[in-house]
């Protein structure tokens, strides 16, 4: 249980750490720093120190890894970092929790399966939850329309990446896939960062150092290790810890950033959780296992 709580807090802290990093660097530049550092460290570990356990990707596996890097890292996190300039970190964590619903919808469209009525109802309830959270965010200027739009683009990109991952069926361990997609995602962002942020300052100070150390070592590596451990122990319980991240996200945002938690955020979270439960993405039955996206 302690490991689950620790994972939830660390995973939710990612958006908060970005807020600190934004005080010293432009969003895409921050993303490149994090992804390149994390990718290189992970790949050095698995292919240098654990080379007998983990093989290099084969010829036909490079393209899927690059595309996963594009969708799951460059677009999802790149847009997410841009969005966090004008979107609260608490709202960010809540929105990301809805991603499995997008994955379910896109998967149904791809496989041409009929979406069950309860799934549509769950999606509608979760969408209402996001709307409840969005309106006061805009009214109180805690978020902007452009920021929310970028966040939605990122979520759709991650959903596309998740569906593509199912289609690709890579015969590689999760840690290998994660290492390469993060590295490729960072490389892909270099040109957009040069074009969009060439005139933005990079201030090497305590905020930037905290962001790099925390986002690379704690969020990208330690949280990932804890996640894989939780999956091995019990997939269902692991997913429940993942879906609890919005609560931890709001708590961290309130404590570290001074973001206000109102009745709207509480109601929105309840609606989102209800929607996830109805669609089967939040399970409490051990015989109904869903893989986290």
Task: Tell me the HSE value of 186 on the side-chain side, using a 13 A CA sphere.
Answer: 19
pLDDT reported for residue 280: 65
Report how far residue 226's alpha carbon sits from residue 292's, in angstroms, rounded to the nearest whole number. Answer: 14
Q: What pTM was estimated for this model as a whole?
A: 0.84
Instruction: Give 218's pLDDT tier (boundaries 50, 70, 90).
Output: very high
Is residue 69 within 8 A of residue 189, CB to CB? The reply is no
What are the extents of the domains in the chain? 2-279
Contacts of 246 (CB under 8 A, 6+ apart): 12, 90, 93, 94, 96, 97, 269, 272
CA torsion through residues 224, 230, 233, 235, sign? negative
Q: What is the pLDDT confidence band of residue 111, given thresholds at 50, 70 and 90?
A: confident
- DSSP 3-state assignment of 219? helix
Q: What is the DSSP string of 141-185?
A: TSS-HHHHHHHHHHHHHHHHHHHHHHHH---S-HHHHHHHHHHHH
First vs last Cα of the chain: how many Å apart? 21
Residue 96 in this model has a pLDDT that exceeds 70: yes
289 pLDDT band, cuts 50/70/90, is very low
Q: Looking at the predicted structure, is the pLDDT value of residue 292 above 50? A: no
pLDDT for the residue 293: 35
Determine contact, residues 39/187, Cβ cutoff 8 Å.
Answer: no
**Does position 173 have pLDDT exceeding 50, yes or no?**
yes
Which position has the higher pLDDT, 289 or 106? 106
CA distance 170 to 230: 22
Region 149-154: mean pLDDT is 94
- pLDDT grade for 152, boundaries at 50, 70 and 90: very high
Do 259 and 137 contact (CB within 8 A), yes or no? Answer: no
Average pLDDT over residues 45-56: 91
């Amino acid at each position: 249980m302690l490991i689950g709580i620790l994972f939830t807090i660390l995973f939710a802290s990612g958006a908060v750490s970005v807020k600190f990093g934004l005080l010293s660097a432009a969003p895409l530049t921050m993303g490149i720093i994090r992804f390149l550092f994390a990718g290189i460290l992970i790949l050095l570990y698995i292919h240098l120190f654990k080379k007998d356990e983990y093989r290099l990707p084969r010829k036909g596996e490079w393209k899927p890894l690059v595309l996963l890097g594009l969708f799951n890292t460059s677009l999802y996190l790149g847009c997410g970092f841009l969005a966090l300039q004008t979107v609260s970190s608490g709202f960010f964590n809540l929105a990301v929790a809805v991603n499995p619903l997008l994955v379910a919808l896109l998967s149904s469209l791809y496989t041409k399966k009929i979406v069950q009525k309860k799934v549509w109802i769950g999606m509608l309830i979760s969408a209402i939850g996001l709307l409840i959270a969005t309106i006061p965010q805009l009214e109180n200027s805690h978020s902007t329309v452009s920021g929310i739009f970028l966040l939605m683009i990122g979520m759709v990109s991650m959903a596309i990446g998740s569906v593509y991952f199912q289609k690709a069926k890579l015969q590689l361990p999760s840690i290998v896939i994660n290492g390469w997609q993060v590295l490729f995602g960072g490389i892909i962002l270099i040109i957009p960062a040069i074009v969009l942020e060439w005139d933005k300052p990079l201030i090497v100070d305590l905020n930037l150092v905290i962001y790099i150390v925390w986002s690379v070592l704690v969020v990208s590596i330690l949280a990932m290790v804890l996640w894989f451990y939780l999956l091995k122990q019990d997939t269902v319980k692991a997913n429940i810890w993942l879906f609890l991240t919005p609560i931890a996200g709001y708590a961290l945002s309130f404590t570290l950033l001074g973001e206000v938690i109102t009745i709207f955020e509480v109601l929105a979270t309840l609606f989102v959780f209800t929607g996830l439960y109805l669609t089967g993405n939040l399970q409490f039955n051990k015989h109904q296992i869903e893989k986290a996206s």
